[in-house]
Amino acid sequence: MDKLSYKPVSHDHEEFLREAKKDEEFRKEYEALAPAYALIRELLLARQHSGLTQESIAQKIGTTKSAISRLESGGKHIPSITTLRKYAEAVGCELEIKLVPKKQGKSTA
């Protein structure tokens, strides 16, 4: 068998996004996902700052580790405000939800 060698492929994610966002359809879909990814980032950062594991959060709020994993992965499930509030309490945070006015020049449709 031939010897295999590891040859990483370089990838500049920022450059990829700049190019991809030139496509209007891609840009719209990417922007539509931004709130979901922002929530995931907030959940992960809060857990990291708390020093807790998914399992310890699950125990604190009375659920399973897999449920916390699903919550943090941002899959098809949309968490309830109650679930988010329990998660926030478990990691020593308060849940804050706010509506932010759109920047001028953005379409409302």
To the nearest whole number, what is the mean pLDDT of the chain? 91
> What's at 57, amino acid-wise?
I
Q: How confident is the model at residue 106 (pLDDT cuts 50, 70, 90)?
A: low
Is there a domain that residue 6 lies in? no
* Residues 12-21 pLDDT 10s: 999 999 999 9
Is there a domain that residue 18 lies in? no
Task: Look up the pTM and report it.
Answer: 0.72
Is there a domain that residue 95 lies in? no
What domain range includes position 85? Answer: 23-90
- One DSSP character per residue, 46-80 reads HHHHHT--HHHHHHHHTS-HHHHHHHHHT-S----
User: How many structural domains comprise the chain?
Assistant: 1
* Residue 104: per-residue pLDDT: 82
The average pLDDT across 38-56 equals 96
Is there a domain that residue 52 lies in? yes
Between CA 27 and CA 21 the distance in angstroms is 5
Q: Any idea what the CATH number is for the domain that residue 61 is in? A: 1.10.260.40
